[in-house]
Every structure is written in structure tokens, then in C-alpha cells.
Amino acid sequence: MNLTTGFTTITFSDVWHVMAPELIMILAGFAILLFDLFVSKGTSRRLSPWLGVVTVIVAIVLVIRNFGVVAAEGPGQLSNMLYVLDDYGNVFKLIFLFGTLFTLIMSIDFFKKNPLVAVPEYTYLLLFGTVGAMTMASAFDLITLFVGLEILSISSYILVAMRKGNSKATEGAMKYLVIGSIASAFVLYGMSFIYGITGQTNIALGGQMIAQMWMEMQPVLLLGFLLMLVGFGVKISLVPFHQWAPDTYEGAANPITSFLAVVSKAAGFALIIRTFIWGFAREFGELYIYLAIFAALTMIVGNVAALAQKNIKRLLAYSSVAQAGYLLIPLVTLGKGTNEHNIWLALGETVFYLAGYLFMTMGAFAVLTAVTREAGNETIDAFRGLYKRSPFQAVAMSVFLLSMAGMPITAGFFGKFYIFLGAINTGLYWLAALLFVTSAIAFYYYFGVLKAIFAGETSEEGTAVPKLGLPWSLNLIVWIGLIGTVGLGVFPNLFLDVLNGLHWFG
């Protein structure tokens, strides 16, 4: 601290200690941009995705290294808790980075089939968007949180629109841009109320002021909370702020749809949990009911709306909406018991489900890409007779869909089971019952796809059925998705033991 100026001096080593993975991603993004300027378009198009893959792998290694740093030295931080290094941020960053890695690998096949796509721009926008998500997981300041949110959002708007000549992509991107911009305004407006009352942008210090002034300034503070919740709700597609999701998911390229479903959604929850646990911890006993209402509406509307869908991407979009409702329940349970043990359980439930959701969603979109491209459409009918054309893809897709529905011996089952137990243990019986009922509804529309896969016919009797193969990149993602989905379902305790040993906030 410089006593003369009052400013804190930050050295590069300080920044590297806390933000090494983010710095690597940012530098690589600009390097790919410059690489595209100075080499031939063919070389740039061919090598850019691989530069992105290598960059993400290096960032994953650096994040894993940071777990040991936190365990040995405690949490790191920049400029009076502006940005923090803790295991909470690290575990979410791993989800973001693996999601981006799988997206890039799937995109290699997408680039071959879509020569008009600007590959270098696509690659560095993915990297920058992931940096925004990582910032949302580690920021401890409202301004920094908002910057991370906007980096992810703006990158996502452009990525959705990158299918040139596709009207659905343009429509989806425009709806996402307009609704997302309004959501950002809500978030910023809510933050302005909190700052106006507390005089703090630091979340922890602001939380202390909120606790002291809650009784006196409750209406204004509650308004700020609700405005932020509405803005965040758009980002993670909570009902009734979910209307952008079906059109955007349908219009975006399949790899980008999977990125939105996993990375963007996980980043939203990382931001919400960090902000609300630290900023409104003492008031959660009064505020959790608003989250409970949103969770209930999201589970009901997401699953019921999926029943009427014939387009497989729109079906998965509404399924993703419902998943947001499930993921909100652990945060709701904190309103019934904010003791330390309950916080660790809620965090573990959320991360476990997000990890399972990563594997089953990425795997499902890899199969979906091959099937819909071969069929020439994205309806459920594209899956008719898939078992006869490709038994492996049929079985893999079945595993992913059953995991999303919550079938035993899959990651989805144990993820929902732990969330269900958390709700029961905190007395939220009605929310636990609703989780059970809406999951039963999900079985119905997932079984519609399974029926097409195993019982549908694709050709007249006596006609040879053409075999459907997978490009190596999609095949790799399907295998990783299967191993992760089944592995977390058969050996859930291995991952839970890791989560229980984390130093979440130091």
C-alpha cells in the first residue's frame, strides 16, 4: 500500500499468482487474432482450433495446480478482495474449461461442414467468453462481476450469429441480444441500489452493511435483490425469463448450443451463489422464498413445455430450462439453514449436478450433430431407426437422455437424488415433491425420443439400412460423455469425497 497516494501497488507476479489461467486464455485469444492477420486464411482456419484446444488444456493444468496453492497458502486475492483465488472459483473454472474444450473439439467437425464460418474469430470468442465465465466465478466485487458477465454475454451473442446465411441463427442471436441487454440493465440497476445504500461494491463488505441496515432500508435493499435476481434469471433461463432459450438454442450451431447450455448456465450459477451467499447471507431466511418460487415455476414450465416439442434442440432447450430449476434448489435450502455444514452440502450438490450435466449434455449434442446432419432436419423423426443404423450412437444417446431424466446408475440420478435429500433435510418437502413429479414428466418426453430410436423405422421392409458413422471428434466427445455420465452414476462417492475435501472459501 502506498501511503502517499492511497493506492495499492499490484505487481505482475501478484496478478499471475491469482489469474494465471485467465491470463493464458486472454493472451492466446489475442495471439490467434494476430495469427489470423499474418498467415494465410487456410492455415489460420486449420490451426486456430488446435491453438484453442492447447490453450484450454494449459489453463486446466494451471487451475488444477491452484487447488494445491489454496490448500497450502490459503486463498489469494487482488486489490482488497477485488478478485479472489479459492477452491470455489477453481472448481467452477474446471467446469467452464472442460465445457469449452469439448465445444472446441466438437467444432472441428462443424468447421469442415461449414466453410463460411470464420474459424479464428469463432475460436478466440470462445476463449474470451470462457474468461468472462471464469471472472464471474472469482470476482468479489460487483463491478468486476458485471464486467465478467458482459464479456461472456457479448461473446455468446456473436457466437450464436456466426452461422452465416441461417435465418434461425440470426433470429436467435437477435432475441438473445435484446433480452440479454435488458437483463444486464436489470442487474446494473439492482447493483446501483445496493451500492447506493451500502456505499460498497465489495460483496463481503456490502453484505455487512446490508445486515446492519436491513430493518431500516429493507424495501430498497429487497428491490435491489429482486432486480439482480431477474437479470441473473435471464442469464440462466429461469421462468418466466426463459423465452430466448428455445429460439437461441435452435438457431445456434450445435457446439455453441452445448456451450450455452453448460458453460453459460454454470457461470450464471457461480455468480448467483457467490453474490447471494456473501451479500445476503443473514437475510436469506426472508429471501429464499423468492428463489423457491422461481425454482418451482422453472421446473414446471420447462418440463411441461418440452412435452409439445418436435424439434430435438427445442426439446433440449426446455430441458435445460428445467435443469436450472433443479440447480436452484440447493441455494433455496440455505434459507432454511445457513449454518456452515449446510452451505458445504449445497455447494457440493450444485457442483456434482453441474459436472454430470456437463458430460450428458456434451455427449447428447455430439450424437445429435451426426444424426440430424445425416437426416437433414432437427426433428425427433431424425432419430427414427437409429439403433439399426448405429447401435453405439443409439445406446449412447439413450444413456444421456436417461441421465437427464434421472434414471438410476447415471450421474443425473445421483445429482437429483442429492438435491432431493438436501430439500428433505431442510424441511422443503413441497419443493422435493415437485422435483420428483417434474422429473417423472421428463421421463415422458425423453421416452418419446427413445421410442423413435429403438422402435422407429427408417426404410421400407427389405431395404438395406445405411450405417451412420461418427467423425473422430464427435466420437471422442461421446465416449468422454459416456464415461463421465456412467462413472459419476456408479462411483459418485469418488467425486463427492473430492468436493468434501475442498477449501471452498479458504
Instruction: Please give the model's pTM, rounded to 2 decimal places.
Output: 0.92
Q: Give the rounded distance of the alpha carbon of 374 from its chain centre.
A: 28
Indicate the domain borders of the chain. Answer: 12-279, 285-506
Beta bridge partners of 85: 76
Binning pLDDT at 50, 70 and 90, where does residue 6 land?
A: very low
Binning pLDDT at 50, 70 and 90, where does residue 457 land?
A: low
CA distance 310 to 174: 23
H/E stretch holding 84 reads strand 83-85
CA distance 300 to 212: 37
Whether a cis peptide bond, with omega within 30° of 0, leads into 240 is yes
The dihedral region occupied by 257, where left means phi > 0, alpha psi between -120 and 50, and beta the remainder, is alpha
DSSP string for residues in 413-453: HHHHHHHHHHHHHTT-HHHHHHHHHHHHHHHHHHHHHHHHH
Q: Give 248-297 pLDDT, tens digit per residue.
A: 998 899 999 999 999 999 999 999 988 888 888 788 778 889 999 999 99
| Amino acid 164: pLDDT | 76
Whether the Cβ atoms of residue 226 and residue 187 lie closer than 8 Å to each other: no
| Amino acid 300: pLDDT | 95
* DSSP classification of residue 471: -
Ramachandran angles phi, psi of 139, nearest 5°: -70, 140
Q: Give 431-454 pLDDT, tens digit per residue.
A: 999 999 999 999 889 998 999 888
CA distance 162 to 274: 32
Binning pLDDT at 50, 70 and 90, where does residue 216 land?
A: confident
Pick the closest to residue 136 from 93, 75, 86, 74 (CA basis). Answer: 93
Torsion 326-448-478-128 (CA) sign: negative
* pLDDT reading at 58 higher than 90: yes
- Could you count the other beta carbons within 10 Å of the beta carbon of residue 316? 27
| Amino acid 468: pLDDT | 65
* pLDDT reading at 461 higher than 50: no
Whether the Cβ atoms of residue 374 and residue 396 lie closer than 8 Å to each other: no
CA distance 199 to 192: 10
- Could you count the other beta carbons within 10 Å of the beta carbon of residue 379? 17
Overall average pLDDT of the 288-312 stretch: 92
Identify how many contiguous H helices and E strands the chain contains and give both numbers.
Answer: 19, 2
